[in-house]
Structure 1
């Protein structure tokens, strides 16, 4: 794999340079999401939206991302990783600008839908670029887990940093009342302290697009024609779905993604109410939850960094996945066991359990994806990642609906733990050597 220098002479990218570019892209993409995370709900309510309207805006994001997940993964496999990632960044620039400056519900809903489209476009191409480039440089047996772990850690770390900045900037701007009123008066109310992190995310997204276009060099591809795209994308999607249905290891990975989605849905739905009950008010509970979310992303980043070590200590990727998921299951069980308990010991166990969920999922993810990439080739790599992401979203959403109607207490936590335990037990049985043998082309013959 080569990159053009200023003199026009190609320079060979070594594995460290490839990892560095993948880590940078992962960080730049997820930092704006973290910046917007901490203030978005409060920004929407300040714009006059009710909680029901806020939920509808979020639904526009989720439904758009789910609807486009598979087609956009196929598009990346057909037209290339770089152009699809750049388009994701452009959509996010528009989305964050609308969210940061919009004052009407329909404007905010359009912004959320565009962000969902950008999320779908970004699901897979960067990781597919990394794997394709490493394979081109060092062959199909090259180590992937280290780079995947660092990319995953960079993503989680960027969200954690963005959440801290996104929560802290509005507070800093609001400390001086004159500064907050100056923002409102000088911009006719378009820019308020809560919108500043979102608009900062626009600047980061522009840097992301420029970096993708200049740093993510790809091997030459056949020129994509509209007819070729219209034929190639459905074919890639169908091939990815067939692979998930017909390959034992890939099917196990997809089912695990659904289990992990359920665990995260339980945390996201149940932790805010638990934090509010602990602190006594919704406002202080929201502040505590923001701190917990940041700590969770840090634990996820740490787990991802530890993934290669876990794989070495346990012997291989499958045992590493088992170990990571078992750790997360233990964390959810600790949260379930302490939901009705009080006192410092119970709180300590609950906090440790919360961290263990993210730590274990972070440690399992790179090994899962390493196994996945060894089962697919470049023609269907991004599609396979999109199928994995869609499994996590759909199963997590369905589980969230069930968890939301269960009575308060340990039962909702136990449901999440039971589903994650089922996903963990999938890895108790080793995949037969014949099933692990060689990469299966995702675009296999019809």
Structure 2
């Protein structure tokens, strides 16, 4: 994937689409609008499925269908974005999520709910890369291939985490608030023949937000004109682009390091997601109150991730380079998992405070490392394969995370499962203890001036 190939693909219309600050604001807005509906549906999702009569085993199967769909489509949809354009694929992701949330909110049969989760998995794959690729393409068109990206990537990542935090809180509280209104829950069931429950409302509200997301993508993300895509061209171009992305990971040491780091992060997140709900229930003494505590922790984790992303430029400036910033972020995340493992058998206020601090530190560290990783990745790819490279990165996180989840589930209860995630992140951090050996200076060039964490998002 060379710059010449990129230029020929884009043609003579590669002039700047919009200025950098406008591109940054639009990237931040798109990131927030995409993740807000998913955050709304996150907290009540399992309860909604069980309220519809699904067993926990059936719920696990429905979630597996989502994960398998996202993994299977990750690379093809990344290649599709590189071939036909970012805006069309991102709008398709919004439409798929719109249909998915409507089916989940209104469905009563297992096959309808499964169909909704499959569509959501397809949307997740479609969304993996186009928005970020659009932002990087636009900045490169405006300021050249050496333009600083870290601040924009950090603010987009922070917006995604903030949307999940806000959505999780709102989605968890809304059914409870509706239940406080006398007769409202019964009225919803009666007037909709049982299709709409209080637990359905967050998903249906998310579907409404998706309409706004699709309209915003179509209106606010202009792209340079491309040659009209034909079915034959797509069928030939997508596999070629995927092959280029996989070859890049095989031959480029820095990209290979980024992919291994994504797998380490996937391992850490798998351990957190599997172990934290049970830990919360143990702390509170009941599953119901444990679920409330976990919802609060999840939202706090997203807030910490957003804060870490906002601080990523500052961390890189203080560390001296993007590579060292990744090392610092992963080491902080490993420390957080060690705190969680060290306090798993302890009781009392002090161990609980350390565990909560460790939980937040994992998300803070991963949030701080992500923008620097992605800036390094974008320095190795061009517009012809950018979304595919991001999809390969996402797939590495998903596949390794899934395998790690199976391993965590088989380990005995206690510190050992937490230690697995900590070791994975520490190994990932050690990968960045040496400077890039390829001679490309981008990985170690002086970092851009960091914006103040309190400055407004642009």
Give the TM-score category using the shorter length.
over 0.9
- Could you state the TM-score of these two structures normalised by the residue count of structure 1? 0.95
SS at match of 1:121: helix
Question: Structure 1 stretches (4+) deviating beyond 4 angstroms?
Answer: 435-438
Residue 150 of structure 2 corresponds to residue 145 of structure 1: yes
Match of 1:3 in 2: none
| Preserved contact between residue 16 and residue 141 of structure 2 (Cα < 8 Å) | no
Match of 1:249 in 2: 254
Residue 293 of structure 2 corresponds to residue 288 of structure 1: yes
Tell me which of 335, 356, 359 is aligned to 2:361. Answer: 356
SS at match of 2:224: coil
SS at match of 1:103: coil
Residue 328 of structure 2 corresponds to residue 323 of structure 1: yes
Tell me which of 157, 161, 166 is aligned to 1:161. Answer: 166
| Preserved contact between residue 376 and residue 442 of structure 2 (Cα < 8 Å) | no
Give the superposition deviation at 1:14.
Answer: 1.7
Residue 410 of structure 2 corresponds to residue 408 of structure 1: no
Residue 225 of structure 2 corresponds to residue 220 of structure 1: yes
The separation in 2 between residues aligned to 1:26 and 1:284, in whole angstroms, is 32
Q: Deviations over 1:81-124 (max 9, x none)?
A: 00000111111111110000000000000000000001000000
The separation in 2 between residues aligned to 1:112 and 1:13, in whole angstroms, is 36
Match of 2:236 in 1: 231
Match of 1:393 in 2: 398
The separation in 2 between residues aligned to 1:277 and 1:188, in whole angstroms, is 38
Residue 183 of structure 2 corresponds to residue 183 of structure 1: no
Match of 2:428 in 1: 423
| Preserved contact between residue 98 and residue 207 of structure 2 (Cα < 8 Å) | yes
Match of 1:368 in 2: 373
Match of 1:65 in 2: 70
Q: Deviations over 1:232-259 (max 9, x none)?
A: 0000000000001110000000000000
SS at match of 2:95: helix
Give the superposition deviation at 1:177.
Answer: 3.8
The separation in 2 between residues aligned to 1:12 and 1:108, in whole angstroms, is 40
Superposed CA RMSD: 1.2
The separation in 1 between residues aligned to 2:90 and 2:243, in whole angstroms, is 22
Q: 5 Å matches for 1:269-284?
A: 269-284=274-289
Give the superposition deviation at 1:11.
Answer: 10
Match of 1:98 in 2: 103
The separation in 1 between residues aligned to 2:288 and 2:431, in whole angstroms, is 41
- Runs of at least 5 residues in structure 1 that lack an aligned partner in the other structure: 1-9, 439-446
Give the superposition deviation at 1:432.
Answer: 2.4
Give the superposition deviation at 1:15.
Answer: 1.1
Give the superposition deviation at 1:325.
Answer: 0.5
The separation in 2 between residues aligned to 1:319 and 1:12, in whole angstroms, is 33
Answer with 10-19 or 308-317: which moved more.
Answer: 10-19
Match of 1:6 in 2: none
Match of 1:7 in 2: none
Tell me which of 253, 263, 269 is aligned to 1:264. Answer: 269
| Preserved contact between residue 249 and residue 435 of structure 1 (Cα < 8 Å) | no
Match of 1:202 in 2: 207
Give the superposition deviation at 1:420.
Answer: 1.1
Tell me which of 117, 136, 139 is aligned to 1:112. Answer: 117
Tell me which of 122, 134, 139 is aligned to 2:139. Answer: 134
Give the superposition deviation at 1:418.
Answer: 0.8
The separation in 2 between residues aligned to 1:64 and 1:290, in whole angstroms, is 26
Give the superposition deviation at 1:176.
Answer: 2.3
Q: Deviations over 1:360-403 (max 9, x none)?
A: 00000000000000000000000000000000000000000010
| Preserved contact between residue 68 and residue 117 of structure 1 (Cα < 8 Å) | yes
Q: 5 Å matches for 1:303-322?
A: 303-322=308-327
Match of 1:442 in 2: none
Match of 2:59 in 1: 54
The separation in 2 between residues aligned to 1:358 and 1:420, in whole angstroms, is 12
Give the superposition deviation at 1:175.
Answer: 1.2
1:79–1:349 Cα change, 3 Å: same
Q: Deviations over 1:143-171 (max 9, x none)?
A: 10000000000000000000011001000
1:255–1:11 Cα change, 3 Å: closer
Matched residues, number: 429
Q: Deviations over 1:311-356 (max 9, x none)?
A: 1111110000001001001000000100001111111111110000
Q: Deviations over 1:31-74 (max 9, x none)?
A: 00100000000000000000000011101100000000000000
- Could you state the TM-score of these two structures normalised by the residue count of structure 2? 0.92
The separation in 2 between residues aligned to 1:200 and 1:58, in whole angstroms, is 21
